[in-house]
Amino acid sequence: MGDAHSHDDDHSELGPMDLRVRALETVLTRKGYVDPEALDALIETYQTKIGPRNGARVVARAWVDPAFRQWLLADATAAIASLGYSGRQGEHIVAVENTPARHNLVVCTLCSCYPWPVLGLPPAWYKSAPYRSRAVKDPRGVLADFGVRLSDATEIRVFDSTAEVRYLVIPQRPDGTDGMSEEALSELVTRDSMIGTGLARSPGAP
Amino acid sequence: MTAPTDSRSAPIATRDYRSQADLGGRDGYGPVVPEPEGENFHAAWEPRALALTLAMGATGAWNLDESRSARETLPDYAALSYYGIWIAALEKLVVAHGLAGVDELSAGRVLRAARPLARMLRAPDVAATLARGSPTERPAQRPPRFAIGDAVRTRSDSVAHHTRLPGYARGRNGRIEHFRGVHVFADMHAHGAGEDPQWLYTVVFTGNELWGGDAQPGTSVSIDAWEPYLEAAP
């Protein structure tokens, strides 16, 4: 957050984009359109409060609580809000469950739509041309880029987020996790496993 | 007031509207490069770009669909990083709405008085504003035209405005899988034509319908399509 207070520091290391964004911020702030402290609060929120650990807690709860899992599949927005996660870019969430028979993968081919309240900001690759172009046509190749190989018998469904519905994948619960606490289970739930480009980690795996 | 050749003063919508962002199914982009969790930004200016975009969005000077339209029509979209796209579009929106001039953005100084805006996002309200979001679902004014399981065909014509029907899914046969409620219609909302809420459906297509012989076995793709994108399958 120190960035906001370093505007008069040495400019020699600043690139063209630094200067351009700084100019824009200066004009918008001095015109009174934006509150500089709100900018810092927004950044801090997405750096420390809203990220994929939120989604991991949702998934772990679904793994241990069958009633919550049913609620999540029926009305994900409400079920997720019950854990305290809601709002911007997650106003209408749908949860889709991976099974041995079907693997779900989420993309936004038109921009970068992503369920922010549960996963935070999308990673660079999610917004990149390779992912957006290939996920719909070459999902198995995209999964291979992530080191994931599924059985040919596993059906793959790609969800292209073309409207304001945001999709959260519920990965399969790994074997060997019986009796693990909800908190320990949430550590196995990776960001990528909730997009569908990964699987949940096995206990003891890196 | 502004140089007509500057991309920041380009119009938002034109008769020859062209999205640079419709990438689904295009070939030749190479491998996806995974990245560890937590690497949200790759340059010091990127978090500022994010925050400025969110804070200006919260003023109500434009809506999210107009933002998307401003981004996807950047002529150099493909050459820009994602936050580079956001900044270029934010400059374009600020100028198009008369909130600042290109000269002010170039100088990094205020040269003219501000225009009054409906709202300003203040730091103490950030958490509540984000938690509230901007829901797009609206009450249904009429029953849906299609039922779950119906065979539908997507519109095949190209349109000279923002749309959320991807090119790869135009003129294709699919099946209605889910109702998603009635939602603000992006095609209209992006261009100041009001919310025009429409039924939204999840429509699923077989890989074969979309990609023919290139389709991978056992794959299907769904989109979320507003009712005006759809007609009953022939």
Supply the pLDDT for residue B144: 98
Q: What is the pLDDT of residues A107-135, one digit of tens each?
A: 999 999 999 999 999 999 999 999 999 99
Supply the pLDDT for residue B5: 44
Q: What is the pLDDT of residues A158-198, one digit of tens each?
A: 999 999 999 999 999 999 999 999 999 999 999 999 999 99
H helix or E strand, kind and range, residue B137:
strand B137-138
**Which of A12, A82, A86, A111 is the catalytic position?**
A111
Q: What is the pTM of this model?
A: 0.94
Residue B13 one-letter amino acid: A
For residue B137, what is the nearest residue in chain A, using CA coordinates?
A92
Say whether residue B42 is in contact with chain A using an 8 A CB cutoff: yes
Supply the pLDDT for residue A13: 78
On average, the pLDDT of chain A sits at 94
Cβ-based contacts of A52 with chain B (< 8 Å): 37
Supply the pLDDT for residue A5: 45
Residue A103 has pLDDT above 80, yes or no: yes
For residue A41, what is the nearest residue in chain B, using CA coordinates?
B123
**A66 contacts: CB under 8 Å, gap ≥ 6:** none
Residue B50 has pLDDT above 50, yes or no: yes
Residue A23 one-letter amino acid: A
> Domain A51-195 class?
alpha beta
Q: Give ipTM to 2 decimals.
A: 0.94
CA distance, residue A114 to nearest chain B CA (Å): 14
What mean pLDDT do residues B108-137 have?
Answer: 97
Active site residue A112: yes
Supply the pLDDT for residue B158: 86
Compute CA B168 distance to the chain's CA centroid, rounded to the nearest angstrom.
17
Q: Which fold has domain B137-232?
A: SH3 type barrels. (2.30.30)
Q: What is the pLDDT of residues A34-54, one digit of tens each?
A: 999 999 999 999 999 999 999
Domain boundaries, chain A: 12-48, 51-195
Instruction: Tell me the pLDDT band of B14, cut-offs 50, 70 and 90.
Output: low
Looking at the structure, give the CATH architecture of the domain made up of residues B7-33+40-132: Orthogonal Bundle (1.10)
Active site residue A82: no
Angle between helices A16-30 and B82-96 (to 10 degrees): 40
CA distance, residue B212 to nearest chain A CA (Å): 10
Supply the pLDDT for residue A204: 84
Residue B184: Cβ within 10 Å count? 23
Residue A8 has pLDDT above 70, yes or no: no
- How many CB pairs below 8 Å do chains A and B form together? 287
The 3 state secondary structure assigned to chain A is CHHHHCCCCCCCCCCHHHHHHHHHHHHHHHCCCCCHHHHHHHHHHHHHHCCHHHHHHHHHHHHHCHHHHHHHHHCHHHHHHCCCCCCCCCCEEEEEECCCCEEEEEECCCCCCCCHHHHCCCCHHHHCHHHHHHCCCCHHHHHHHCCCCCCCCCEEEEEECCCCEEEEEECCCCCCCCCCCHHHHHCCCCHHHHHCCCCCCCCCCC
Domain boundaries, chain B: 7-33+40-132, 137-232
Say whether residue B119 is in contact with chain A using an 8 A CB cutoff: no
